[in-house]
A = this chain, B = another copy of it.
């Protein structure tokens, strides 16, 4: 796709909410942290590499899909396209701390998701085998839309860093700070395959993980060392024709179609679900597609069972048509294990226990797909 990078601010309902300042890279970014020698750099510049967003370095905007594509889908998707769910920054440094200075597009409170998940960032360090959680950049309750925070390490050796961006908020500006004398280099790359693509609703966007690194696609990415693109749209995954076509334009290693919740009923789900698949399949004849039904299925509700049947039917029809690269995960199994009902905090949205189990189940299937196709 060849796109001009429209300024998302001009497209959002209500016009420009927050002026995106022109960043003068020659000016030092001010810090209120009391750290001598702290030097900030814009995360959009090298040696930082951004993952999970749409060409952030080129467009200068933190978007999950281009504004002109999102605008065609729905106002909801346009607005949520700025949320940085799945967005990451990677680099390596021998600084004994990493600071961030972030300005978000807005601050909004949710009763069932802490700011650490919705507006916070967290940091992982590669230990030679896997990326391990090291600390969180926690938004202050007084002004979660704009803050500085630091994660410190016990010493100053070279580390491979991954920072996850907020799940339910958009980034206007992000600066990453290390000691002015520290080395700062391009970070570790994921293995050389296309990203794993996730499409779905609020759960797929990360509601309600306690922090971004515990969202299930992020956890799977760490387990399999593969990049991903998280197209979860809270309340707005409706399999629109325009979204279906946009998805079909994405070259992925695996397509996890975790799309169910946001259609009003099983009938409207049926009208769109198979088209999401067939459109994607037409563009990508061999890419594995994993269909996932919703985890919060009520087994006593006929309508919930019908919805699962819709998802299953897309899978069965594909198999019948000779497609050998389709897979099905019964959402009810996502929370399997002791205390399965404790996997959500409101009957729908997974907490970190629920997301852990989703990562285990879906991750196993993604790994299986990659083993056969990468």
Interface residues of A (CB under 8 A from B): 109-117, 120, 132-136, 138-141, 144, 154, 208, 210-211, 213-214, 219, 298, 300-301, 338-339, 341-342, 344-347, 351-356, 360
**Would A346 and B135 count as touching, CB distance under 8 A?**
yes
Q: Which residues of B contact A351 (CB under 8 A)?
A: 210-211, 214, 351-353
Q: Name the CB-closest residue of B to A124.
A: B341
Q: Name the CB-closest residue of B to A341.
A: B133
Q: A111-B120, A210-B208 are in contact. Are A136 and B352 (CB under 8 A)?
A: no
Bound Cα distance A182, B352 (Å): 36
Q: How far is the CB of A296 from chain B (nearest CB, A)?
A: 11
22 A-B pairs with C-beta separation under 8 A: A109-B109, A110-B141, A111-B139, A111-B144, A112-B114, A112-B115, A112-B138, A113-B114, A116-B345, A133-B341, A133-B344, A135-B346, A136-B345, A138-B346, A154-B298, A154-B300, A208-B210, A210-B345, A214-B353, A351-B351, A352-B353, A353-B355
Bound Cα distance A347, B150 (Å): 13
Bound Cα distance A206, B102 (Å): 29
Q: How far is the CB of A224 from chain B (nearest CB, A)?
A: 14
Q: Name the CB-closest residue of B to A154.
A: B300
Q: How far is the CB of A334 from chain B (nearest CB, A)?
A: 14
**Would A132 and B341 count as touching, CB distance under 8 A?**
yes
Q: Which residues of B contact A113 (CB under 8 A)?
A: 114
**Would A342 and B133 count as touching, CB distance under 8 A?**
yes
Q: A133-B341, A356-B342 are in contact. Are A141 and B214 (CB under 8 A)?
A: no
Bound Cα distance A352, B208 (Å): 11
Q: Which residues of B contact A301 (CB under 8 A)?
A: 154
